[in-house]
Amino acid sequence: MAGYRFCDGLDMAGISAFTLEGRIRRPFKRIYLKAFQHMQYLGISSPVFKSYVEKLDAEIIHAHFGYDAILVYDIARALKIPLVVTLHGSDILFAPEVWKKGEAGFFFRCYPRKLEALFRDPSVFFIAVSKALREGALKRGVPAERCLVCYTGSNHRYFFPADPGHMPSNKVLFVGRLSEFKGCEFLLKAMASVQRQVPQAELVVIGDGPEKLKLTSMAEELNLKASFLGALPRDQVRDWMTKARVFCLPSITESTQSFETFGMVLLEAQLCGVPAVTSARGGSESIVHNETGFVFAEKDTEALANYVTALLTDDLLWSRFSRAAHEHVLANFTLDACTRRIEAFYDEISRS
């Protein structure tokens, strides 16, 4: 595995990895790394990175996000290695004008043009993390014959239900970045209605972001029973999922046309036996409506409130959904199963 730098929170146990950051000595590290990025944006390959990839004798290069794909495309082309690009959302959904205006940074102004070069190259293949994202990607010019849907699986050995027969409290859980895109404000509005019908219901919000002050103020104005816990480590998020009665992801489509393309937290919650309620366009693909959870239209707070109330007040409904949610993810979205689909795609590319 090769990359620019290690990211916090990645479990790299047993994985051999090379990073440019690890090869550069101070005090010139920051300068070199910035130069590397800018050179790649301009189409000038890093000889250090290229030589390492060449030594790996790789048959395929797999880049996550279009932003990173354009950084390794010239190396893949020079070494005549097929490139697989996993698209996750904003890297393909943002309108080209957003990039061309430099709103994402000076060097990203050429991003649409570089993406188009990947679209034209028959040795570049694309993975979309949901059907909804694939539809959006095709509208942006990704060739349909080279774009496959492969969901990102969740680890069922890490996320699992509480003890059998456990009936959780009346906590409604939200996990995500506190930004307009995640739609937490619509959950707050819905909870005002929920708590009138179920006074003991409590909202737990895990996450941080630019909307936090606005959301906490809104919760106070609505006189909600709500706890804002900030960003928490993965193990604590899992613990809260096992305590929750309902999980909500009320995402909306942004003005940039970006939307929730899948939503891993929906899989994690369902693996923990927590029914999920969502308006996420891609996320709805991981839920069987009226069996493992509920899907509602974006910003429809009345529907959201009704679904949450039903799961809080009907124990038989909750138990049925809880079992079905866990079984559904085990059958369709485990990390092992989704990885095998990607490996099969690698085999298909290698044979072509």
CATH value at residue 101: 3.40.50
Where on the phi/psi map is residue 350: left (φ > 0), alpha (ψ -120 to 50), or beta? alpha
Are 282 and 263 contained in the same domain?
yes
Residues 168-177, mean pLDDT to the nearest whole number: 94
Determine the pLDDT at residue 299.
97
166: in domain = no
Are 312 and 339 contained in the same domain?
no
Are 143 and 210 contained in the same domain?
no
Are 143 and 175 contained in the same domain?
no
Q: How many domains does the chain have?
A: 2
pLDDT digits (tens, 9 = 90+) for 225-272: 999 999 999 999 999 999 999 999 999 998 777 889 999 999 999 999
Give the pLDDT band of residue 38 (cuts 50, 70, 90): low
Distance in angstroms (rounded) separating the CA atoms of residues 44 and 10: 29
Supply the mean pLDDT for the chain: 89
160: in domain = no
Are 94 and 228 contained in the same domain?
no
Residues 210-224, mean pLDDT to the nearest whole number: 97
Residues 71-83, mean pLDDT to the nearest whole number: 91
Distance in angstroms (rounded) separating the CA atoms of residues 164 and 153: 24
Are 185 and 122 contained in the same domain?
no
Are 281 and 248 contained in the same domain?
yes
pLDDT digits (tens, 9 = 90+) for 264-321: 999 999 999 999 999 999 989 999 999 999 999 999 999 999 999 999 999 999 999 9
Residue 26 pLDDT greater than 60, yes or no: no
Residues 209-220, mean pLDDT to the nearest whole number: 97
Are 207 and 125 contained in the same domain?
no
Give the pLDDT band of residue 13 (cuts 50, 70, 90): low
189: in domain = yes
Greater pLDDT, 104 or 255: 255
pTM for the whole structure: 0.87
- In 3D space, the residue among 37, 98, 95, 28 whose CA is nearest the CA of residue 71 turns out to be 37
Residues 185-198, mean pLDDT to the nearest whole number: 98
165: in domain = no
Are 133 and 210 contained in the same domain?
no
The residue whose two tokens read 């949450």 is 308
CATH value at residue 318: 3.40.50.2000
- In 3D space, the residue among 191, 291, 319 whose CA is nearest the CA of residue 250 turns out to be 191
Determine the pLDDT at residue 17.
67
Distance in angstroms (rounded) separating the CA atoms of residues 245 and 351: 47
Are 185 and 131 contained in the same domain?
no
Secondary structure string (H, E, C) spanning 130-167: CHHHHHHHHHCCCCHHHEEECCCCECCCCCCCCCCCCC
Determine the pLDDT at residue 170.
94
222: in domain = yes
Residues 191-201, mean pLDDT to the nearest whole number: 97
> Percent of the chain having pLDDT more than 70?
85
Are 134 and 182 contained in the same domain?
no
Are 328 and 340 contained in the same domain?
no
305: in domain = yes
Both structure tokens of 312: 């809080």
Domain that holds residue 71: 2-154+335-351
Do the Cβ atoms of 309 and 194 come closer than 8 Å?
Answer: yes
159: in domain = no
243: in domain = yes
